A and B are shown apart, each in its own frame.
Chain A
C-alpha cells in the first residue's frame, strides 16, 4: 500500500517529502555520526554538497557568520571534485539507498557549461536518482554573473544539461533576481524535470567595532528562519508559473514551516540551516507532518500541494 507520505518528483518516488538542503549536511556520512544510522535513513532523500569537475578551494575564512534568526555563508562551494566524490562518497550513499530506500540527489556546480557536463556525464551509471543543478555559481566566461540570474543563460544551461544527463534534472534557482517566475519558466523551457528553490539571498555584515567586513568574501548567502517568508512567496510564485514539481526550501525549521511550503506549491521540502541548530530537525519534521496528516484527516500528503486558499 502506498504510504500517505509518499511523493513523486519527475518519476522518482520519495518515501516522504523531506530532504536536506545541499551544503548543510555534508554527504550524509558526517551527520550519521551525530544522529545515528536510523535517523539518517528516515530521510526521503539525501542531497549532497555541491560537486564540481575539479576540486574547488572555496573562499578565505571567516566563511560563516550568525545573523538574527539566520546566518551568512560564503563557503565558496569548496569540494573535492567529481572523481573523489564518486570514489569516496557515493558508495556510502549507495548503501543508504539500498538499505532504506532513501533517494540520492547529487547537487552539481560548475564555472562553465562544460564543467557541469563533465560532472553529470561521470554520474551516468552511478546509483543517483536525481541531479540538482546549482545555477548560483558565477559563469567565469561571462563576467561572473550567475548562470541562474539571466533567463537566456539559464535556459541554455538547462538544455545542455538535460541533453546529456543520465537522471532527471532539477534546476536550483537563485532568489537574487527581480522576477523568479521568469527564471522558473526559463528552466521549464530548457526542459527541466523539476525546480528547487530558494538558494541563499545575498547579504553583507559589517563589524562596527573593527569597521571591517565580517566575512572574508565581504558578501555571503543568507539562510535560516529569517528568509522563510521570502522563500514561501517565491515557491508560491514559481509553482504557479510552471507545471513542474517544486522542491521548496528556505528557513524551514519545523513541520509547520514544511507544511506551509507544501501548501504554497512545493511537492517536497529541503531543510538546511535548521540542522545546525537542531541536528534532528528533519526527523522531527517528518514525524510532525505525519501527525498533522493523521490529526487533520488528510489521506495523502499530495492533497496539500498548492492547497492554500484565499
Chain B
C-alpha cells in the first residue's frame, strides 16, 4: 500500500475533530506498581478511535512539551488513559485527584484500520505499556457485526513478569486471551509471538502495540507469512519523541520504505500519518 492511498486527517481536515480543551478528572487509581488508570470527563471520548492518542499538558510550565498518551477506552463523555510513571510529567499526572482539571489536546493520530479485520482471523498483541490502547481496539472489533466482523479474535498480552501485570482480565469479555511473560512467572514463558506460534493461532490480520523489538518481530513474522504465500497484514503502533503532536514540527518521524506523499522524502510523521502503520510501510532496517 502506498502512502498516497492512506488517509491522514491532516490531508482531510473535514474529518478531523482535533481540539484543545480542559477535562475534569473523574477518578484515578493504581492498577499495579507505577501504572495508573486515569478517567477523564471530556467530550473527546465521543469521537475517539482506537489507536489514537491525546496530548496531556503539564501544569508546571517548565515542562513545556505535552505528553502523548494512548486512549485506552472511550465513552460518550469520558476517556480512560493508562500510563506508567516514568518521569516528572507522569508523576504530576499521578497526583491528580477527582475534580481536578487537566488541559489536553485530542484526538490525535490516525488510529487502527478496523476494516482490515473484516472476515479475517485477527490477533491483537499488546506488550507492556502497549496493552492499554488494545482494550479499546478489542471492544471495537468485538462490536463489529455482519460483514465487518472478524472471523475470529484472539488477544495476546505480553508482560515482563507477574509483578508488572495490569489490565489482564479486562479483555475477557471480548475475546479469548493468552498471556505471556519474559520469565514465565505469569502465563506462558516467552514472547507474544512465541504464544502465537506454539498455540498455532491463525493470524491473518495482526494489530500490535508494544516495545520496538516486539513490533519488529511481528513485522518480520508477517513478512515471512506473506513470503510463504499466506494472506497476512500487520499493523503496528509506533512511538517517538514529540513536540507538537499534530504534524507541524516534524519532530516525530519514522523512516518509510517509499517516499511519503506529505514529506516528499522517506519520512512519515508518527503523530499524523501514524501512530499506526502497515508494517510494510516501515523501513525496519534503518531503525535502531
Also in contact, A58 and B250, with CB within 8 A (given A69-B62, A71-B64): yes
Contact string, A24-39, partner B, CB cutoff 8 A, digits 1/0? 1110011111111000
Contact with B249, one of A24, A80, A280 (Cβ below 8 angstroms): A24
Contact A73:B249 (CB < 8 A) given known A29-B10, A34-B19, A81-B264: yes
- Give CA–CA (A73, B244) in the complex, Å: 12
Given A71-B64, A80-B263, A61 and B20 touching (CB < 8 A)? no
Chain B residue nearest in CB terms to A280: B20
Once A69-B62, A70-B64 are accepted as A-B contacts, the answer to whether A80 and B264 lie under 8 Å apart by CB is yes
**B29 to chain A: closest CB distance in Å?**
28
A26 in contact with B20 given A55-B264, A57-B267, A66-B63 (CB within 8 Å): no
- Stretch in contact with the other chain, from B122-130, B215-223, B251-259: B251-259
In the bound complex, do residue A276 and residue B62 qualify as a contact, i.e. CB atoms below 8 Å apart?
Answer: no
A interface residues, how many (CB within 8 angstroms): 44
Check A84 for interface membership: any CB of B closer than 8 A.
Answer: yes
Residues in chain A near residue B250, CB distance under 8 A: 23, 49, 58, 63, 75, 78
Chain A interface helix/strand/loop/mixed: loop
User: Is A64 close to B, CB under 8 A?
Assistant: yes
Inside 8 A of B199's CB, which chain A residues have their CB?
none
B4: CB under 8 A from chain A?
no
* Chain A 231-256 per-residue mask, 1 if CB under 8 angstroms from chain B, else 0: 00000000000000000000001000
Residues of B within 8 A of A26 (CB): 244, 246-249
B77 in the interface (beta carbon within 8 A): no
**Is A56 engaged at the interface, CB distance under 8 Å to the other chain?**
yes
User: Do A277 and B57 form a contact, CB below 8 Å, given A63-B250, A64-B242, A66-B64?
Assistant: yes
> Do the beta carbons of B65 and A64 come within 8 Å of each other?
yes
Q: Are B266 and A64 in contact (CB under 8 A)?
A: no
Q: Is the CB of A69 within 8 A of B254?
A: no
Min Cβ gap B241→A in Å is 5
Taking A26-B247, A275-B244, A277-B65 as given, write out 13 further A-B residue pairs in contact, using a Cβ cutoff of 8 Å, ordered by the A residue number: A23-B249, A24-B244, A30-B244, A33-B10, A34-B105, A57-B265, A61-B254, A64-B251, A66-B63, A66-B65, A68-B62, A276-B244, A279-B20
A-B contact pairs, 7 of them (CB 8 A): A31-B248, A58-B253, A62-B240, A62-B241, A225-B61, A253-B61, A277-B64
* B positions within 8 Å CB-CB of A: 9-10, 13, 16, 18-20, 57, 61-66, 105, 240-244, 246-254, 262-267, 272
